[in-house]
């Protein structure tokens, strides 16, 4: 495991906080935040993040392997890169979060809650991202790597924040190259890290769900090799060079409705063991809260991230409809 990840997981700051790697200079900016800047002039900037949820270890291990490859000189870095381990304290304890879910707090939502670990971290990450994007190459990408709690009919998929203009083909095609079998397009703003970078900095952002969460060292990393390989290719070559003969392959969905835990009487009528992308037919009761009932509105809707145990006011699940691939 590379030193940046090791020190972050141990809660330590390295003795040396800046230096030179093969073809780039690096700087440790904050706990869990390091910037790599190529010596040659580049036009592309990338935020590569993992560990926003502290129990999602495989993406941290992928990140560590990619950093190892960069430091060995195996990748000729052609992006300005900000590497972010989202929630170091949660990673250190192997918990999803300490006080509340970090990935609901971005876009200033942290300011409306009781101060705590995650609120402070969201504020800090917003500052760090703002500094990076104020002073970086013009093409902006953000890849935020996660693993899911439950099983999924599409084991690897991406969730893309709301965006007013079309998603460039190069971005969607790279996500497919990284092994994502489905792409889910949000229609309204939200509090995730990727929503923040997309909404405030017009970054091409994706929350990448790469499989099931396991403890450190228990991940079958061969499952993740497609993504790791695609990241190495991206960092060393840039998106334009990756497009040759790439055919659209991902199934595409948009969010049709959100299930929100509105009050104490809220009941989610989706069984606990329901896997992501399970279809439901029109009229099926999904959730109720006293008199308010939420049912499937379209012919078929697919469930994503059902979770009755969220705090009041937060998302208990998303319902999706399938849409044509934008470049299909």
Active site positions, annotated: 209
- Distance between CA atoms of residues 182 and 161, nearest Å: 14
The binding site comprises 53, 56, 146
- Cβ nearer to Zn ion, comparing 102 with 136: 102
3-state secondary structure of 64: helix
> Tell me, what DSSP letter sits at residue 112?
G
Minimum distance, C-beta of residue 324 to Zn ion, in the bound complex (Å) = 28
Residues contacting 262, CB < 8 A, separation 6+ = 289, 292, 312, 313
- Cβ nearer to Zn ion, comparing 150 with 163: 150
- Cβ nearer to Zn ion, comparing 56 with 80: 56
- Cβ nearer to Zn ion, comparing 194 with 294: 194
Among 151, 108, 112, 150, residue whose Cα is nearest residue 130: 108
Q: Which of residues 129-148 bind Zn ion (CB under 5 A)?
A: 146
- Distance between CA atoms of residues 182 and 159, nearest Å: 9
Minimum distance, C-beta of residue 52 to Zn ion, in the bound complex (Å) = 6
- Cβ nearer to Zn ion, comparing 207 with 257: 207
Residues contacting 227, CB < 8 A, separation 6+ = 62, 145, 156, 178, 179, 208, 210
The binding site for Zn(2+) comprises 53, 56, 146
**Only segment of 20-28, 50-58, 273-281, 293-301 that touches Zn ion (CB under 5 A):** 50-58
Q: How far apart are the first and last CA of the chain?
A: 39
Sheet bearing 292-295, strands edge to edge? 266-268, 285-289, 292-295
**Only segment of 45-53, 108-116, 236-244, 263-271 that touches Zn ion (CB under 5 A):** 45-53
**Only segment of 55-63, 83-91, 234-242, 258-266 that touches Zn ion (CB under 5 A):** 55-63
- Distance between CA atoms of residues 208 and 159, nearest Å: 7
How many amino acids of this chain bind Zn ion (CB under 5 A)?
3
- Distance between CA atoms of residues 305 and 260, nearest Å: 12
- By rule CB under 5 A, what string of x and - marks binding of each residue 146-165 to Zn ion? x-------------------
Contact with Zn ion (CB under 5 A) among 7, 35, 53, 195? 53
Q: List the beta bridge partners of residue 140.
A: 45
The residue at minimum Cβ distance from Zn ion is 146
Minimum distance, C-beta of residue 167 to Zn ion, in the bound complex (Å) = 21
Minimum distance, C-beta of residue 161 to Zn ion, in the bound complex (Å) = 15
Minimum distance, C-beta of residue 194 to Zn ion, in the bound complex (Å) = 11
Q: Which residues bind Zn ion (CB under 5 A)?
A: 53, 56, 146
């Amino acid at each position: 495991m590379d030193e940046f990840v090791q020190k972050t997981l141990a809660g330590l700051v390295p003795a040396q906080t800046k230096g030179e790697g093969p073809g780039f200079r690096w700087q440790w900016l904050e706990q869990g935040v390091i910037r790599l800047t190529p010596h040659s002039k580049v036009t592309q900037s990338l935020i590569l993040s993992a560990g926003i949820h502290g129990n999602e270890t495989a993406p941290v291990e992928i990140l560590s392997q990619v950093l190892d490859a960069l430091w060995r000189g195996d990748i000729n870095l052609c992006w300005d890169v900000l590497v972010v381990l989202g929630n170091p304290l949660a990673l250190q304890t192997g918990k999803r979060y300490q006080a509340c879910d970090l990935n609901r707090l971005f876009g200033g939502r942290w300011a409306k809650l009781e101060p705590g670990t995650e609120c402070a971290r969201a504020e800090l990450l917003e500052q760090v991202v703002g500094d990076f994007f104020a002073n970086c190459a013009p093409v902006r990408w953000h890849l935020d790597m996660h693993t899911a709690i439950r099983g999924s009919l599409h084991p690897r998929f991406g969730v893309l924040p709301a965006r007013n203009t079309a998603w460039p083909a190069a971005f969607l095609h790279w996500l497919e190259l990284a092994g994502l079998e489905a792409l889910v397009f949000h229609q309204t703003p939200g509090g995730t890290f990727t929503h923040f970078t997309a909404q405030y900095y017009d970054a091409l952002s994706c929350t990448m769900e790469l499989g099931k969460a396991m403890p450190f060292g228990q991940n079958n990393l061969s499952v993740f090799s497609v993504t790791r390989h695609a990241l190495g290719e991206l960092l060393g070559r840039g998106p334009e060079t990756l497009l040759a003969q790439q055919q659209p392959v991902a199934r595409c969905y948009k969010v049709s409705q959100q299930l929100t835990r509105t009050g104490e009487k809220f009941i989610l009528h989706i069984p606990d063991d329901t896997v992501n992308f399970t279809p439901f037919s029109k009229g099926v009761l999904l959730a109720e809260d006293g008199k308010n009932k939420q049912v499937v509105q379209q012919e078929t809707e697919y469930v994503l991230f059902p979770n009755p145990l969220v705090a009041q006011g937060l998302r208990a699940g998303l319902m999706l409809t399938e849409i044509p691939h934008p470049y299909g």
